Structure 1
Amino acid sequence: MSFEALVTKVSQAEAALEAKERQAAADFRQLKGSWRDAWTPGRIVIAGLVTGFLVGRLEPGKKAARGGGLLQLLTALSGMFASTQATTAAAKAEDAADSAEDVAEQAPAP
Structure 2
Amino acid sequence: MKFEVLQRRVRRAEAVVQVRSTETLSQWNLLNHVWRRAWTPGRIVIAGLAGGFAAGKLEPGGAFSGGRWLQMIGSVSGLVASAQASVASFAAAAAGMAAQQASAAADDAGQAAETAASTGAAAADPVQPRAAEAATDVSES
The TM-score, its normalising length taken from structure 1, stands at 0.48
Greater RCO between the two (CA within 8 Å, min separation 6)?
A: 2
